Chain A
């Protein structure tokens, strides 16, 4: 099982310290394994309950509204939101967890919708950019983006707005450095970062 090359590299353990020895592992492992065995006995039946690969009922709760869809398991959350729920604020750009144009919130956390399967996100509270200006209530992030002209072609912008909202929710008093770290998951090709940073900083100072 052990790779020969790895073993050869490793050599003898010469330390007296616990972080090198790993004492007591076996005990805990057994404890967990026992729990697992118990669970196994209870759930043997459920194990065979895998669903089919055919299109099936999928219910997504987006912006408080339930969307009843028929989707194959392989449909991404992004495709479902854009193509089936017709909420096109989030965009498809990279499909490789890099650009952030598809950012939505799931249970309040910013997430790349391209990295999720729609079928796996049932029962979650999904929030898209559309919710940030729904029902006559406009999230302060939106006018602040406009004020600092944090948009040019605008294609990356909704994803950036959602990321900014999610970020500020968790870091309401963020510094510029924190903003630059937190919002590094969104790409803009036109180069609107300066406006985004100013916007986030202003909202953080105002305690948004």
Chain B
């Protein structure tokens, strides 16, 4: 770990100010579950670490007229305990699937959304694009855990956030503050992620000095159902091979609106319009769910060694759809 300054602001404004310095070569520390490991591996080497956990306004879940404002510091434990978040089943399921109380106590939603890729080339110091001598290491190397969608560009890692698919399926937005003192923007979460085209790009739209302060969720209606299906090789702490989250609006057994989002299959969370459009105005059956799964991966372009992930992603979508309407049976 390289040395850095440390600061612990009390307010959002103070945090933004602290993050601007050093040309923005600063890092936001929340639960530490990703950042401290990155620091130890020298993958992130900021000149200042800003611990935002003292900022009251970034904690807690509040109901407003338009929906919920969820502080970025909301931990997985908070997600599990919050009566306001309880109806957002697909979110709660993700928090519950983190089978480690240490992560549940520390990990925050904001941190999860900004979790850097678990790509082993990235984690071994080859950068997000894993380029060496102008060549992609992923393309010809061991890409068993890499992208099967959206991988035609230089980025072939998969987005590591476990909550993003569910949040995007709910149409969540993120409130971003900084880098200028008063600057605030609210962006649909699906536009938050980018697939970097060059080595100096990150995997989100966050500019140096910016951070997520809140996540916005629309108000839930009785007709809304949702589910997340994560395919985890291990029961214990592990990260998914593929994830699917669906949010449906079901009236009289007919799906009126649908969003289907896949995770861990592309450099960004993957919104599948193909899958969603198949669901609309239909009654969910096993056959339909199958077709939805197939549609979600119909444009998959697996790499040399990850064809199997297409099957897994397809299954995840199918099962998430069935799970949302309470029809899922079986599966490990």
Contact = CB atoms under 8 A, between A and B. Distances in A.
A–B in direct contact per CB < 8 Å: yes
Interface of A: 1-3, 5-7, 9-11, 15-29, 31-33, 35-37, 39-44, 46-53, 72-74, 76, 95-98, 100, 103, 109-112, 114-117, 119-120, 163, 166-167, 170, 180-186
B194 A184 contact: no
14 contacts: A1-B191, A9-B150, A10-B271, A17-B221, A19-B224, A39-B11, A40-B14, A43-B17, A46-B10, A73-B49, A95-B37, A117-B6, A119-B6, A180-B99
Nearest to A40: B13
Given A29-B184, A184-B235, A115 B14 contact: no
Nearest to A118: B6
Interface in B18-36: 18, 21, 29, 31-34, 36
B3 A74 contact: yes
Given A29-B186, A117-B6, A166-B101, A47 B271 contact: no
Contacts of B163: none
A19 B171 contact: yes
A184 B100 contact: yes
Contact of A39 (B14, B32, B105, B268): B14
B257 A20 contact: yes
A128 to B, nearest CB: 14
Contact of B5 (A24, A29, A73): A73
B3 A19 contact: no
Given A22-B171, A44-B181, 6 more contacts: A19-B218, A22-B216, A29-B184, A39-B13, A53-B4, A97-B37
Contact of B186 (A25, A44, A49, A185): A25
Contacts of A110: 101-102, 105
Contacts of A98: 237
Nearest to A114: B36
Interface of B: 1-14, 16-18, 21, 29, 31-34, 36-37, 39-40, 47-51, 53, 57, 64-67, 69, 77, 96, 99-103, 105-106, 150, 153, 170-171, 173, 175, 177, 181-182, 184, 186, 188, 190-191, 193-195, 205, 213-214, 216, 218-221, 224, 235-237, 247, 249, 256-257, 259, 268, 270-271, 273
Contacts of A27: 65-66
Nearest to A95: B40
B299 to A, nearest CB: 10
A40 B65 contact: no
B57 A36 contact: yes
Given A22-B218, A163-B101, A183-B101, A120 B29 contact: yes
Nearest to B205: A1
Contacts of B77: 109
B171 A185 contact: no
Contacts of A170: 101
Contacts of B6: 50-51, 53, 73, 117, 119-120
Contacts of A167: 101
Given A6-B191, A36-B57, A181 B99 contact: yes
Contact of A111 (B65, B106, B235): B106
B287 to A, nearest CB: 23
B17 A19 contact: no
Nearest to B182: A37
Given A40-B16, A42-B11, A73-B5, A3 B195 contact: yes
Contact of B191 (A2, A15, A28): A2
Given A95-B40, A110-B101, A180-B235, A36 B12 contact: yes
Contact of B4 (A19, A49, A74): A74
A117 B69 CA distance: 29
Contact of A97 (B103, B214, B236, B256): B103
Contact of B270 (A9, A33, A97): A9
